[in-house]
Chains A and B, each alone.
Chain A
């Protein structure tokens, strides 16, 4: 699989797509989120696996998003996600709340190709009360009492985007221990992956690399984006840029501040890089 350009990768995602994104501790592709903003994508239905962070907030701020299904949206130590909060208040986005293991479970059902999977907990939570698509049934195997349990439908996103450390010549990508990226890739129709670099060889033929790899069969497109997770950390390659996120959190408190940030960090940076 030959890498394509970041902008070409972003062009693969049509308006209205359901797009799953990992959170800030698990290899989000901020580079691809910025490219999606530049491409002007609209009406994305985002899924936070299992929560949402920086990439989700900038996509919302840029008007690319119509709904977010997630278990939380946060900028970590920089606090609440400002454009998410503002969009919710303004009624500009629909927020579909979940709880972390429910998101994982719905994706695992899709991975297995089964229509639903059960999950403990949740009963008595208003999350469940606001999820008409989740059902409570008596445990059919219970020997004592009804034992109510929640059933969650399989979740099959149109796309997942994440940032892997590297790809090989065969199009396998390597994410190390961040295996939720594998789960989302398995469960989604198409996985679009940015990488720091492409290396020779085949990860699947290397016993030490194979367990951290995702087979190319799940990968629909790869683009090289150096520092593509930044400001988020990438495994042991680079750390979290707290100052960058803090500045964003300050500027994005207002719509004007966000627009200024976006012009500088999403559009100008790209123009400079192209020169």
Chain B
């Protein structure tokens, strides 16, 4: 199996953002519900030998929390979680997240599962990396229909951080909280600035030539498809089968 799957490319792009030397250090990373690509990225960072503590909320054996799921939020409230991941049914150009649904509240158009911990985690974690594989104008909108968690807050509202970046199936965006806008950091092979612009409902900044997102290296792919798949199989069997080609036990 040599073909690079999009999910693998996204996981590797997420891993590079975790290790971004210009961002505050990620010593303790938490991964929430329904996040196989962030989980793969975190395992990649760890299996590459970086000293990082991973707390995977949905890990069944060896779950990190002994006080129930509230412990994740208590840790985050104290500032003991450095980095978290969030997605969204809609994400807009100011990094507002909508996990509730489209149309009138509470999602009378298309209902998404719900906001999970986003309305707290986005404020209380120094860094959030956003991810969403589907890169279309229905996902990346000018303005979200409903705000589960806002991208920026007015002065005086307690907030430790916000989005660092947004990784999609087409590109990597960097977020600039000072101007509440995204800039295009790299495009995945096969994409151009124009193709990304066509697929994006919000305006974003482009500075100079935009590079391609680097391909995963053979070493990274070997880690993902081997030991990382082993780690993830219990929590994300469908994902591991679909992306890494791993057969599920009968």
Partner of A101, one of B61, B65, B73, B148: B73
On whether the beta carbons of A72 and B156 are closer than 8 Å, the reply is no
On whether the beta carbons of A72 and B116 are closer than 8 Å, the reply is yes
CA distance A181 to B68 in the complex (A): 8
Q: Give the A-binding residues of B (Cβ under 8 A).
A: 33-34, 57-58, 60-61, 63, 65-70, 73, 77, 99-100, 105-108, 111-124, 146-150, 153-154, 156-158, 234, 236-239, 248
Report A75-91 residues with CB < 8 Å from chain B CB. Answer: 76-77, 80-81, 84-85, 88-89
On whether the beta carbons of B68 and A26 are closer than 8 Å, the reply is yes
Partner of B33, one of A72, A127, A146, A181: A72
On whether the beta carbons of A183 and B70 are closer than 8 Å, the reply is yes
Chain A residue numbers with a CB within 8 Å of B115 are 71-72, 97-99, 125, 127
Q: State the Cβ distance, B67 to closest chain A Cβ, in Å.
A: 5
Interface centre among B115, B148, B149, B248 (most CB of A within 10 A): B115
A123 (CB) vs chain B CBs: closest residue: B157
Chain B residue numbers with a CB within 8 Å of A95 are 106
On whether the beta carbons of A71 and B114 are closer than 8 Å, the reply is yes
A147 with B68, Cβ < 8 A, contacts A71-B115, A99-B117 known? no
On whether the beta carbons of A74 and B77 are closer than 8 Å, the reply is no
Interface of B is mostly: loop
On whether the beta carbons of B116 and A89 are closer than 8 Å, the reply is no
On whether the beta carbons of B114 and A236 are closer than 8 Å, the reply is no
Q: A149 at interface (Cβ–Cβ under 8 A)?
A: yes
On whether the beta carbons of B70 and A101 are closer than 8 Å, the reply is yes
Partner of A104, one of B73, B122, B146, B148: B73
Partner of B119, one of A122, A147, A242: A122
On whether the beta carbons of B99 and A122 are closer than 8 Å, the reply is no
Q: A121 at interface (Cβ–Cβ under 8 A)?
A: yes
Interface centre among B68, B114, B117, B238 (most CB of A within 10 A): B114
Q: A178 at interface (Cβ–Cβ under 8 A)?
A: yes
On whether the beta carbons of A120 and B123 are closer than 8 Å, the reply is yes
B153 (CB) vs chain A CBs: closest residue: A124
On whether the beta carbons of B99 and A72 are closer than 8 Å, the reply is yes
On whether the beta carbons of B69 and A104 are closer than 8 Å, the reply is yes
A101 with B113, Cβ < 8 A, contacts A126-B148, A179-B67, A183-B68 known? no
Chain A residue numbers with a CB within 8 Å of B121 are 121
CA distance A240 to B235 in the complex (A): 9
CA distance A180 to B157 in the complex (A): 29
On whether the beta carbons of B113 and A130 are closer than 8 Å, the reply is no
CA distance A128 to B147 in the complex (A): 10
On whether the beta carbons of B66 and A177 are closer than 8 Å, the reply is yes
CA distance A88 to B106 in the complex (A): 9
On whether the beta carbons of A180 and B100 are closer than 8 Å, the reply is no
Interface centre among B57, B63, B69, B105 (most CB of A within 10 A): B69
B151 (CB) vs chain A CBs: closest residue: A124
B68 (CB) vs chain A CBs: closest residue: A180
Q: State the Cβ distance, A106 to closest chain B Cβ, in Å.
A: 11
B120 (CB) vs chain A CBs: closest residue: A121
